[in-house]
Amino acid sequence: MNMDKVCINTIRGLAIDQVQKANSGHPGTPLDLAPATYALWNNILNYDPANPLWPARDRFVLSGGHACSLLYAMIHLSGIKEVTRQGKVENKPALTLEDLSQFRQLNSKTPGHPEYLHTTGIETTTGPLAQGIATSVGMAIAQEWFAARYNRPEFPLFDYHVYAFCGDGDLMEGISYEAASLAGHLKLGNLIWVYDRNRITIEGNINIAFTENVEKRFEAAGWKIYHVKDGNDIDDFQNKINQARQNKDMPSFIVIDSVIGYGSPNKAGKSVAHGEPLGVEEVKATKKNLGLPEDKDFFVPDGVMDHFKANIGKRGAAAYQKWHTLFADYKVKYPELGQEIEDILNHRLPKGWDKDIPIFAPDAKGVASRASSGKVLNAIAKNVPWLIGGSADLAPSNKSNLDFEGAGVFQNPAYGGTYDGRNFHFGVREHAMGAIVNGMALSGLRSYAAGFFIFSDYMKNPIRLSALMHLPVIYIFTHDSIGVGEDGPTHQPVEQLVHFRATPNLVVFRPADANEVVEAWKYAMQENSKPVILALSRQNLPTIDRHQYASAEGLKKGAYVIADCEGKPDLILMATGSEVGLIMEAYQVLTKSGKKIRVVSMPSWELFEEQSKSYRDQVLPPDITARVAVEQGSPIGWDRYAGTTGAIIAMRGFGASAPYSDLQKKFGFTLEAVLQAAQEQLTR
């Protein structure tokens, strides 16, 4: 065999050995995709294994994360260096053969699906099918934005490509259509998807469920189509990749016809090769077929590592050094832009980023938190050039549009925009929007996505992945309650707060007034390792007099005493968002009647739980059991704070279609209802 075949079969051997030793995993796709993966990585990919975070590197996404034994083999053979969570490159391999042998084991670097930050060389967490290819669209968008803002004729700092490998399952998922449609509209010539068409899923041949003409679908969406008839023909594949790289006017879609489980004498082309180990004897037979020693596991022949080092290693090192020198000269000629790039790379906010944030004066009428959020967003975005985002066709309603001079629209010039625009039109594509902003964040942009809170249901998977990957994406969700009114229960979020509060590493804010909105945005911008959700109102919220009551800065602790009494309270009223104004009214009435009342605003349960027990007990003293909690959402979870004997005024159904004032009466969100619950607590 020539060295290309030796390397390809080494990859195959390492992949099936990982799965067999773990007695768990997916060997079929690594066997059939090894040639294309090898050809791309070793011969084409612009990537320096010694500097895995180099910002101008090509990106590689394995959307079918179940095939990760293939990716782990590539990381090892390519010699990628370990990078710490702090971004420091260590002089040791990211994955050793021992790491590969611990595939799918506890505390290993080789989990069952690729995890960003967990394993160096993984550009994004994948596993839920099609999330990877949708995220790659965000990466391609980021490259276009960086190039448009920072590149100069003599300084092509950002000219990389984004490659994503996908399979039949990815393209069955609806998010794949959303993402492909938007990528085609934007004419992302830097984006190349490689479709491994092996025609097999867990249940059998795809003909049982998937018979559409995929090429026609992508052609209709504005993609350039290429076809590789034999998955083992790396010359044809490389030729198609190089053609795609020259195609600057539209994304490229390369279809590879392959045989799942290639090389396996008894399982190739069958569904049994997809999601279960080949078996000890079949592994030996497969290795014999591939020209590998049958009695050796995790075997790397002499010369293979040197071959990768002489290709991707040498090519990547030269490209990195060229870029490093170019950037040094760039900073001399364009110091302000160079500073921006360095701030992005180091996850820093620019100096003065918060200088224009408004302070809202007391106002009994107040303003909807969606409106105050829009003002704060615009004030911040003026001073943070890489804060970019948009909405799923709802920007006028959720106030997420950047309207200051020069904000612009991210759009292909053919449609009247520029690639350095700050406003993004996702169209009615919430699911893809969630994944795309993840791709933007993975590339260094401070991305945000906006929509109605009820439609967060379409985005739960990518938001979960934001949290899992520690990405500081900001989600602006408005129309956060039955305040939607006449739109009815289809548009009135009830259970959404519960879901997101239960999601690890995610911070949810439901601000009570405009100044809590300010503090929520300040927190979100300074948070570098967690996504943040802003749940905002459609209806006006009174702006609380902060000279008379506590500062909104208490928001940073999740919950705080906003109004209090002398001495020990008789009763604690607690709420979030629009209901804080309601319990403040009750506070006034009860205080005038001689009762000792404490009011607690609880905009973020997650941050409150992070506080010390002494602080939490200070806000909610355990010996004060007379409590009333009010929120226009599900009651689930409120017993933690209201206690087993406290009253909870919440939604216990889906809502109804009616004017908001009628809904408040129907569901008990009135002053009278709060006073009645308070009286019952005081007299029990």
Q: Are 456 and 495 in contact (CB under 8 A)?
A: no
Beta strands in 47-117 (DSSP E): 59-62, 81-83, 89-93
Q: Are 458 and 421 in contact (CB under 8 A)?
A: no
3-state SS of 483-500 is: HHHHHCHHHCCCCHHHHH
Distance CA 544, CA 139 (A): 41
Three-state DSSP state, 382:
coil
Distance CA 7, CA 417 (A): 45
Residue 431, class by beta-carbon neighbours within 10 Å (0-12 exposed, 13-18 middle, 19+ buried)? buried
The C-alpha angle 587, 634, 366, rounded to 5 degrees, equals 45
Beta bridge partners of 165: 62, 194
DSSP states of 446-469: EEEEEEEGGGGGGGHHHHHHHHHT
Contacts of 414 (CB under 8 A, 6+ apart): 187
Q: Would you say how long the chain is, in residues?
A: 684
DSSP letter, residue 80: P
Give the N- to C-terminal CA distance of the chain in Å, as an integer.
Answer: 86
Contacts of 497 (CB under 8 A, 6+ apart): 508, 510, 535, 631, 633, 634
CA 282 to chain centre: 39
Distance CA 108, CA 102 (A): 6
Q: Dihedrals φ, ψ of 60, to 5°?
A: -125, 125
Contacts of 317 (CB under 8 A, 6+ apart): 48, 50
The residues annotated with a catalytic role in the active site are 430
Contacts of 384 (CB under 8 A, 6+ apart): 349, 350, 353, 446, 525
Distance CA 61, CA 102 (A): 22
Q: Are 26 and 66 in contact (CB under 8 A)?
A: yes
The C-alpha angle 529, 531, 536, rounded to 5 degrees, equals 145
Q: Are 428 and 438 in contact (CB under 8 A)?
A: no
Residue 404, class by beta-carbon neighbours within 10 Å (0-12 exposed, 13-18 middle, 19+ buried)? exposed
Element (H, E) at 390: strand 387-391
Give how far Cα 28 sits from Cα of 34, 170, 239, 275, 276, Å. 10, 16, 25, 7, 9
Give how far Cα 67 sits from Cα of 70, 419, 614, 657, Å. 6, 34, 48, 47
Distance CA 240, CA 590 (A): 75
Give how far Cα 72 sits from Cα of 51, 100, 401, 471, 529, Å. 17, 7, 41, 23, 25
Beta bridge partners of 227: 255
